[in-house]
Amino acid sequence: MIVILKPGLDEQEPEFQSLLAYLNGKPGIELRQHTEHGAQQTITELYLIGDTAALDAEEIAGEPAVERVVRVSDRFRLLGRHRGQVESTGFNYNGLEFNQDNFHLFAGLCAVDNRENTDRMMAALRSQGLAATRMGAYKPRTSPYDFQGHGAACLPYVLELAGEHGIRVVAMEVTHPAHVTEIEQALAAAGHPTGVMLQIGTRNAQNFELLREVGAQTRFPILYKRGFGISLEESINACEYIATSGNRNIVFCLRGVQSHMGAPHRNLVDFGHVPVIKRLTRMPVCVDPSHSVGSRERAPDGLLEIQHIAAQGVVAGANMALVDFHPRPEQALVDGPQALHLEELPYFLADMSLVHDAYRRRRELVQDMPRL
């Protein structure tokens, strides 16, 4: 059972204290408190764990501090949108707000190759007023003979340049808990010039030990990429592993699923699931059109297929797009064929903001539509 308190209610206030005393008096019930700092308001939720069947929800709802009482189903206990939970919650990280309403473009290098390209990439982002990027240091590759990423060796210059170019959040995949420690150490050594969002790649979508480890820390938020060969439900459950370990600052990323039916795209695009994730959970939703499409093919209308696919996600309400760019795609060490050129960045950004605006207008359009 979740007891949602009146927005903005402070723990010191007498109504709050008397509610705690009242609930603590219930036998066999453990209380866990969770505060969501949303864009508009702060909401505290009390999770009642144990034999809640005997509790009288109406009586609890009658307490002055209580806004609403929600009985949770077993599904997606922490991240799920349970009946009665209407508000979208999110989190703030290093000055950027992540929720189910806004939109961020995370353009950047699939894999960091050298300092010069990192600098050129970030300078291009800065010139467009962007404060977030993707930078792969640890690269899980299908073949052990392929470039595996520079790992910890590139972190000093990646973090330093991010700080110089005003980048506030760098999304970076980790494939082992040791990588989180290396990132923490590199950030500390550089004087925390930027923030890092830890990416869990599709190949580790059900690496439960890794999920528990990244969930056990709250310093960094998590970008979880849907498993390419598992169901959506299994992927959301994997996020519950992160959340139950203590970290609920998770963005759920769609990146296509493996099926030859998606050919000639690299993966079968699954961006129709954007509104589904919002209905089932309260996580912000990201789309990755680069790893879905896998090439820079252009449609006869002049738009790149990556643009078309990204737009499908954003017009459906995606809150983030993770997109590969490179100053010289032909020289990229990983995924060069799908990397967009820096000269294409302003067009891509303008296109996404147009599409996100269309999404907002679509929402307004249905405000008065009868809910039949």
Phi, psi at 314, each rounded to 5°: -75, -35
The set of residues, in sequence order, having a beta carbon less than 8 Å from that of 260 and lying 6+ positions away, is none
Q: Which two tokens stand for residue 151?
A: 């790992």
H/E stretch holding 232: helix 232-244
Among 202, 249, 307, 319, which residue interacts with ligand PEP (rule: CB under 6 A)? Answer: 202
Of 2-10, 143-151, 196-204, 307-315, the window that binds ligand PEP (rule: CB under 6 A) is 196-204
**Tokens 């990132």 belong to which residue?**
183
Does 294 engage in binding with ligand PEP (CB under 6 A)?
no
Number of residues engaging Mn ion in binding (CB under 5 A): 2
Please report, as residue ranges, which positions from 55 to 114 form the binding site for ligand PEP (by CB under 6 A). Answer: 110
Does 340 engage in binding with Mn ion (CB under 5 A)?
no
Does 110 engage in binding with Mn ion (CB under 5 A)?
yes
Of 49-57, 195-203, 208-216, 364-372, the window that binds ligand PEP (rule: CB under 6 A) is 195-203
- C-alpha distances in Å from residue 16, one per residue of 53, 57, 92, 306: 23, 17, 25, 50
| Sequence letter at residue 170 | V
Beta-bridge mates of residue 35:
44
Please report, as residue ranges, which positions from 149 to 188 form the binding site for ligand PEP (by CB under 6 A). Answer: 173
Of the pair 92, 114, the CB lying nearest ligand PEP is at 114
- C-alpha distances in Å from residue 355, one per residue of 41, 240, 292: 27, 31, 19
Contact 269, 256 (CB under 8 A): yes
Of the pair 278, 291, the CB lying nearest ligand PEP is at 291
Question: How far is C-alpha 153 from the geometric centre of its chain's CA atoms?
Answer: 26
Which residue of the chain is nearest ligand PEP when measured via CB? 201
Among 104, 150, 165, 255, which residue interacts with ligand PEP (rule: CB under 6 A)? Answer: 255
CB of 135 to ligand PEP, least distance (A): 10
| Sequence letter at residue 324 | D
Among 240, 335, 344, 351, which residue interacts with Mn ion (rule: CB under 5 A)? Answer: 335
CB of 202 to ligand PEP, least distance (A): 4
Of 108-116, 179-187, 258-266, 272-280, the window that binds Mn ion (rule: CB under 5 A) is 108-116
Residue 202 touches which of ligand PEP, Mn ion, none (Cβ within 5-8 Å per kind) = ligand PEP
Among 278, 291, 326, 356, which residue interacts with ligand PEP (rule: CB under 6 A)? Answer: 291
Closest by alpha carbon to 325, among 159, 127, 118?
118
What's the sign of the alpha-carbon dihedral 7, 11, 14, 18?
Answer: positive
| Sequence letter at residue 101 | D
CA dist 248 and 240 (Å) reads 9
Of 45-53, 71-79, 200-208, 275-283, the window that binds ligand PEP (rule: CB under 6 A) is 200-208
CB of 321 to ligand PEP, least distance (A): 12
Report the side by side order of strands in the sheet with 29-37.
29-37, 42-50, 2-5, 66-70
Of the pair 23, 232, the CB lying nearest ligand PEP is at 232
Of the pair 111, 132, the CB lying nearest Mn ion is at 111
Give the angle subtended at the CA of 47 by the CAs of 212 and 96, to the nearest 5°: 60
Of the pair 225, 326, the CB lying nearest ligand PEP is at 225
| Sequence letter at residue 336 | G
CA dist 11 and 211 (Å) reads 31
Does 221 engage in binding with ligand PEP (CB under 6 A)?
no
Does 285 engage in binding with Mn ion (CB under 5 A)?
no
Closest by alpha carbon to 201, among 236, 175, 179, 177?
175
Of the pair 110, 242, the CB lying nearest Mn ion is at 110
Interacting residues with ligand PEP (CB under 6 A): 110, 136, 173, 201-203, 225, 255, 288, 291
Interacting residues with Mn ion (CB under 5 A): 110, 335
